[in-house]
Structure 1
Amino acid sequence: MRLSNAILRGISGAYILQSGLGKKDLPVEAYEGLQAMAATGVPQLKEWDAKTFGQALWISETALGAALLTPFVSKRLAGLALTAFSAGMLTMYFNNDSMTQDDGIRPTHEGTPLSKDVWLAAIGLSLVFQPKD
């Protein structure tokens, strides 16, 4: 693995792994809040049970973080997974009017934490489109 790939995968993978593990034992009320936010991007998530949503969320984030940190997972597969994850996060950003300014792109103060997921999308696409080693 190239050093540049290790840096891209290591930083984003460690961040996402920690985020997923941090959601493991949250109370149902916290899962309900996360679910409501996620449903602004993917409305079908409203239909899930909050505990099931929370479990799926922490497991999928943890799995994504682990895949990014595991060297034998191809960079393209890891990049596709990271791109899909960040696209899901960005749907919440773009579909929630309070997160963007009047132009629909620049973040408001409330939208800044989600707008940063554009960097995860860039990392994912970088891994996907790098030439073969």
Structure 2
Amino acid sequence: MGISIANAALRLVSGAFILNSGINKLRLDEASAAGLQQMASNGIPQLGEIEPATFGKMLSVGEISLGSALLLPLIPSRLAGLGLGVFSGSLLAAYLRTPGMTESDGVRPTQDGTALAKDVWLAGIAVALIFGHKAAKKSKKKK
């Protein structure tokens, strides 16, 4: 079941980025947690019902867990990709539903929206991890 160099590169880049982000949020103050929660609740309204401090801890633990899962080769790429897909989908939902983040077309980012819009690369990596192995198998069978 080995891991390809391409999958290893995708997992290393995204996993290290997300793990670092989660570690940096371990000591998140309540005001910063509340700001992140407000943005996140634009994408997933139920997140607004959680206490900001609890949300900050949950976000930190979630990012550390996901980053670790991406970095650990014993976690199958498809499973790690599914976790990354849920995470990146949440980020993109917040981006698309937060006023002032997109131009009038509702897709292209404004200056303020660029920081969130760039996370679309995580969605691309998730798709590659979920479907990449199957495509590589089909390609080998044709040869």
Q: Distance in 2 between matches of 1:131 and 1:16?
A: 23
Q: Distance in 2 between matches of 1:97 and 1:32?
A: 17
List, as ranges, runs of 4+ consecutive aligned residues in structure 1 with deviation greater than 2 Å. none
Q: Paired residue for 2:34?
A: 32
Equivalenced residue count is 133
- Deviation digits for residues 93-118 of structure 1 (CA, Å, limit 9, x no counterpart): 11013000000010000000110111
Which of 53, 56, 81 in structure 1 is aligned with 2:55?
Answer: 53
* 1:43 to partner: Cα distance: 1.1
* 1:8 to partner: Cα distance: 0.2
* 1:30 to partner: Cα distance: 1.0
Conservation of the 8 A alpha-carbon contact between 1:99 and 1:111:
yes
Q: Spell out the pairing of 1:103-114 with structure 2 (5 A cutoff).
A: 103-114=105-116
What amino acid is the match of 2:54? T
The TM-score normalised by the length of structure 1 is 0.97
Q: Distance in 1 between matches of 2:119 and 2:50?
A: 24
* 1:32 to partner: Cα distance: 0.8
Gap runs ≥5 in structure 1: none
Q: Secondary structure at the match of 2:104?
A: coil
The TM-score normalised by the length of structure 2 is 0.90
Conservation of the 8 A alpha-carbon contact between 2:39 and 2:98:
no
Q: Secondary structure at the match of 1:15?
A: helix
Quick check: which has more Rg, 1 or 2? 2
The percentage of counterpart residues that share the same residue type is: 48
Q: Distance in 1 between matches of 2:25 and 2:63?
A: 9
Gap runs ≥5 in structure 2: 138-143
Q: Secondary structure at the match of 1:97?
A: coil
Conservation of the 8 A alpha-carbon contact between 2:69 and 2:75:
yes
